[in-house]
Structure 1
Amino acid sequence: MFDTRPDREAEVVLVGRSNVGKSTLMRELTGHTKFDTGGKPGVTRKPNHYDWTAEDFVITDLPGFGFMSGVDEEVREEIKTNIVRYLETYAENVLVAILVVDGKSAVDIIDRHSGPDEIPYDVEMYYFLEDLGIPTVVAVNKMDKVDDRDERLDEICDRLGLYPPWKQWQDVIAPITAKNGRIGPLNEAVRTHLHEERRDDLFKFF
């Protein structure tokens, strides 16, 4: 299921928990409507790739990780293993990773799963991407449902080990509402990293 990647050198990947809006964001970025989205977590079980025939570039929406309603733990672990393996395999090709989190629930979920023997998936994935040397933008989605915007974004920074205030991390933290097409901060952050990789030619996609 994970060996369908088009033969493209450059890649941007979307990662994150199930049901945080990755596929909606993928549709917004590509203008393409065929990607499956649904109210139930775990709709995306294999990578969705979108490539432009004339371009040596692909955007990939990886399956969601973490809890999925009605999905066995064994299957969840297999999906997570496949995601990790995919990122390790293509780390050299990935120009930017977009870690999508739900602005309304991310802090509560992280705190609920923080303990002496447990690292929350979002935090673990953020540091895993960092260890692989992949520049990462945290897209804080569903901000239309968040009242205390700055406070919430500061809390997310804090949980990721980034010293608040969040506004000093605008190349890392991008507040968005994908379903309304409000993804400007994400595009800006991604472009910052593409520029550092000398890939300004890809700005037209973001």
Structure 2
Amino acid sequence: MFEHRPDRDAEIILIGRSNVGKSTLMRELTGHTFSTGKKPGVTRKPNHYDWNAESFMFTDLPGFGFMSGVEKDMREAIKTDIVHYIEDNAEKILVGVLVVDGKSVIDIIDRHTNNDEIPHDVEMFYFLEELGIPVVVAVNKMDKVDDKDERLDELCDRLGLYPPWQQWSDDTIAPITAKRGQITSLREVLKHHLHEAKRDDLLKFVTK
């Protein structure tokens, strides 16, 4: 179980598979460098970056799903810890940012669906929704995607959102390339949700 969560009243969480760029995105949002690496599973515990005065923080949760060199039992334990963390802190989580790899997410979802499984990304999307946490899908690494509109439409379809993706761009779908600092669309969607939550006092943390 994850321990030592800072006692903050509000947070935005980043969740997603290993190696989708969560830590890079966290760096872009906070200006603070976190451990990143090509080897999946570098982040095993939550990384918190907080502002005590405002009682607010960003939390980068460990990656879930397949990780090279990590036993299945350990992967399942990490996923269970993530689920418990989100359940325990649901009332304090203003937004859940589900980070996916724009280049590979469709293949991953389809591969698991064909195995009669619920893909982790889809499962997590609905899990957050069921808890009443606004979900934003940050579709990362879009610089590596050729037909962007088609890919984003396909992702909406897999998540049960009616395409075209543009109709979800205000509150749910944010195409980004975190490595290049191209996260304006995500900042705009986060601003929308903070405003909806009547937390305009926190807008400065998602505005550059």
TM-score normalized by the length of structure 1: 0.98
Moved over 6 A (4+): none
Give the whole-Å Cα distance in 2 for the aligned partners of 1:117 and 1:135. 27
* Paired residue secondary structure (1:5): coil
Task: State, as a whole percentage, how many aligned pairs show the same letter.
Answer: 74
Shift of 1:116: 6.7
Output the amino acid matched with 2:205.
F
Question: Secondary structure of the equivalent of 1:39?
Answer: coil
Q: Which string of whole-angstrom CA distances, capped at 9 and with x for unpartnered residues, describes residues 97-116 of structure 1?
A: 00000000000000000047
Mapped to 1, the partners of 2:163 and 2:199 lie a distance apart of 29
Q: Which residue of the partner structure matches residue 76 of structure 1?
A: 75
Hey, what does 2:137 align to over in structure 1? 138
Q: Matched residues in 2 for 1:201 and 1:111: separation? A: 40
| TM value normalised by structure 2 | 0.97
Aligned pairs (5 A) from 1:108-127:
108-115=107-114, 117-127=116-126
Q: Which residue of 2 aligns with 1:53?
A: 52
Kept in 1, the 8 Å contact 2:8–2:52? The answer is: no
2:183 alignment counterpart: 183
Return the offset for 1:53: 2.7
Q: Deviations over 1:62-107 (max 9, x none)?
A: 0000000000000000000000000000000000000000000000
Q: Which amino acid aligns with 1:200?
A: D
- State the shift of 1:41 in Å: 0.6
Q: Secondary structure at the match of 1:114?
A: helix
Q: CA deviation at 1:117?
A: 3.4
* Contiguous gaps of at least 5 residues in structure 2: none
The letter for the 2-side match of 1:159 is R
Question: Structure 2 matches for 1:85-100, cutoff 5 A?
Answer: 85-100=84-99
Instruction: Indicate the residue corresponding to 2:157 in structure 1.
Output: 158
How far is 1:17 from its partner? Answer: 0.3
SS state at 2:91 partner: coil
Structure 2 partner of 1:20: 20
Distance 1:122 1:4 in 2: 26
Does residue 11 (structure 1) correspond to residue 43 (structure 2)? The answer is no
Equivalenced residue count is 205
Q: Secondary structure at the match of 2:133?
A: coil
CA-based RMSD of the aligned residues comes to: 0.9
Distance 2:197 2:53 in 1: 20
* 1:163-187 Cα deviation digits (max 9, x unpaired): 0000000110000000100000001
Distance in 2, matches of 1:186 and 1:74, equals: 33
